Structure 1
């Protein structure tokens, strides 16, 4: 296992672990003693990684997983206690605001990452963990994973998570889940549209992940990045100008190296060269 050039000198907090196999980077949430609750250090470390790989076209996918049988149980209560003390000392709510907004910036960064993001969801997938699942491109869940938005039951709001949950499952379902604080398993998460596939054991999970990775490698790296960016734009831009720009991108792709290699591979009945990486 060798980290790519963009990551070799990166010093990250031990709340996460990095594991790379070729073009596939696995980012492990590594606080199993707290069910991988999201600490300030973890948020910062995740941002560090996604900042460093943003322009690294050799990394084609990021797999998000949690150590110890859990994905992420939400925000770290210990950090909340520390923020309470800091807010009292400065006589301002700013420490709360800064921390919460930093978490939202991290979620947005993962959402907009040019790489394909795959979430492997086991055990607790709560609060911030639920939000992270909602910005994945591919979500695979164990049937017995526990999903939920428990914030209102704790007297707080799913403040930074809410927009991404609504985009994932729609306003009607998001209102019900957030206001009732419901807990539900992987099969219900699939029905809601949070996850794409549900598996029943570790063997099935690894097999499905392997298949997903192979499919990711079949997509041309640059075409994949540009397609993801285009899909994001469909939510915010006027249709006519978006389609005009998409036509230009299509023309550039057809005449570019990937388009030529893809066409030649099809004619020669072979896999394109990018599938080997």
Structure 2
């Protein structure tokens, strides 16, 4: 199966990572409905290829993403009076499906944050597993200043940085730079320039390679379910996951590699 054809994204598999670039530089990579659907298609594709263990998200032309596409909003407004369906609700909910899909990806999702990281771009950053930002990046939730709520983004922002800080950012519409975003926990590390960003990405991808892919996927699901699953139920499931893993091919290979003082097969 080949990579899906995309018009708003650039996609390239390099080694064990699928690199996805939001590619609408004329609007600072604002997310159109087409882009939202193309992102989901690429994440669905990654699940068909076991060699893809990392998904790297970034934006073209030194901007990550400036939020939602105004053109889609205008089209929805024109459509609003033409029938019984609610195009605004449908448009907004589709973005929620995309951000949920990225959040639940079995691969490790790495976000490289530059320039504008606003609205939907901010939300996308908040569902990455690892986020690296330039100090000069500008983060913000401008929705309330535009008369709308950050509807699909808000739950993921609150989970990422906590309710107190999410309230402040969303209700005041304040902007912050990469250093402040790192302090808040939106990003994990802050670097000074593009060369440092590339070097940090190489280090992260090497670290991902050292981790067993199935064990990483199971671990990620366990962590994501902490807030939604009763503890005893979660621990029972975790014990079953552990048993399957230690008796499975990754567990056997990991033990053998440790005893033989070599790298396991997945780290080659």
Q: Structure 1-normalised TM-score?
A: 0.94
For the 8 Å contact 2:3–2:45, the answer to whether it is kept is: no
In structure 1, the residue matched to 2:216 is 224
How many angstroms does 1:89 deviate by?
A: 2.7
Is 1:141 aligned with 2:121? no
SS at match of 2:257: helix
Is 1:48 aligned with 2:48? no
- Segments of structure 2 that go 5 or more residues without pairing to the other structure are none
Is 1:37 aligned with 2:24? no
How many angstroms does 1:9 deviate by?
A: 5.4
User: How do 1:193-212 residues align onto structure 2 when only pairs under 5 Å count?
Assistant: 193-212=185-204
What do you get for the CA RMSD once the two structures are aligned? 1.1
How many angstroms does 1:260 deviate by?
A: 1.1
1:213 to 205, 218, 231: 205
SS at match of 2:112: strand
In structure 1, the residue matched to 2:144 is 152
Matched length: 268
In structure 1, the residue matched to 2:66 is 73
Deviation per residue, 1:47-73 (Å, 9 max, x gap): 111122234322101000100100000
In structure 2, the residue matched to 1:259 is 251
For the 8 Å contact 1:57–1:222, the answer to whether it is kept is: no
In 1, the alpha carbon distance for the partners of 2:226 and 2:66 equals 32
How many angstroms does 1:93 deviate by?
A: 6.4
1:85 to 78, 102, 105: 78
1:109 to 101, 104, 112: 101
User: How do 1:6-21 residues align onto structure 2 when only pairs under 5 Å count?
Assistant: 8=2, 10-12=4-6, 14-21=7-14
1:245 to 228, 237, 242: 237
In 1, the alpha carbon distance for the partners of 2:3 and 2:150 equals 35
In 2, the alpha carbon distance for the partners of 1:145 and 1:259 equals 41
SS at match of 2:4: coil
SS at match of 1:63: strand
In 2, the alpha carbon distance for the partners of 1:50 and 1:220 equals 19
SS at match of 2:197: helix
- Segments of structure 1 that go 5 or more residues without pairing to the other structure are none
In 2, the alpha carbon distance for the partners of 1:133 and 1:127 equals 10
In structure 2, the residue matched to 1:170 is 162
Deviation per residue, 1:93-145 (Å, 9 max, x gap): 60000000000000000000100000000000000000000000000000000
SS at match of 1:74: coil
